[in-house]
Amino acid sequence: MSKAFVDYLERLKGSRTWTAARAALRRSLAFPPGEYPPVLPYVEAFVDGEGWEREAHYLVAALYALKDGAHQEGRTLAQALRQAGQARDSKSVGKRFQALLDADRDQLPFRLRQAVGLVEGGLDFAKLLEDLLLWFDGRRRVQVRWAREYYGVREEETQEEIEEVKA
């Protein structure tokens, strides 16, 4: 479902209507997700009903437009933010990342917009949508994985630590 949505956005980017669609989608970031009527034709066919799933689709579409469709499969937002922090040698990226991880439903669109604005290059928008759809899971698995990706804990290192604790 997430991939199909991003594939649709990729096709939209390749069409003659992309300039107008991009402008409307970018403008929608000034409104709560799904409440800016000009973007309804671009997103509504991919969502059912109301709630967070709908908002997440609108949010990802707007962020995709913000990055001018710079989709890069496999590059997560956390990885991209880590690279942005290293390139800038700045603690502000880390503080914004922590604020993003702790964002509630009202804050999340603003925090994501800030975070995506810091990133150079593309992002995996399908993965971003998948992650946002699970953002409010009580176990916070997405936030934990993003923290590992940002702070550079690699799976091999984690596995080595587990082996050391067992020994």
Query: What's the confidence (pLDDT) of residue 38?
Result: 97
Residue with tokens 């309804």: 40
pLDDT digits (tens, 9 = 90+) for 126-150: 999 999 999 999 999 999 999 999 9
Q: What residues contact 16, with CB distance under 8 A and at least 6 apart?
A: none
Mean of pLDDT over the chain? 91
C-alpha–C-alpha distance, residues 151 and 94, integer Å: 9
C-alpha–C-alpha distance, residues 25 and 95, integer Å: 27
Query: Would residue 47 be called left, alpha or beta, if left means φ above 0 and alpha means ψ between -120 and 50 degrees?
Result: beta
Query: What's the confidence (pLDDT) of residue 88?
Result: 87
pLDDT digits (tens, 9 = 90+) for 62-112: 999 999 999 999 999 999 999 999 998 878 999 999 999 999 999 999 999
C-alpha–C-alpha distance, residues 70 and 67, integer Å: 5
| Contact yes or no for 66/29 (Cβ under 8 A) | yes
C-alpha–C-alpha distance, residues 26 and 67, integer Å: 9
The neighbouring-strand residues paired with 71 are: 123
pTM: 0.88
Query: What's the confidence (pLDDT) of residue 155?
Result: 53
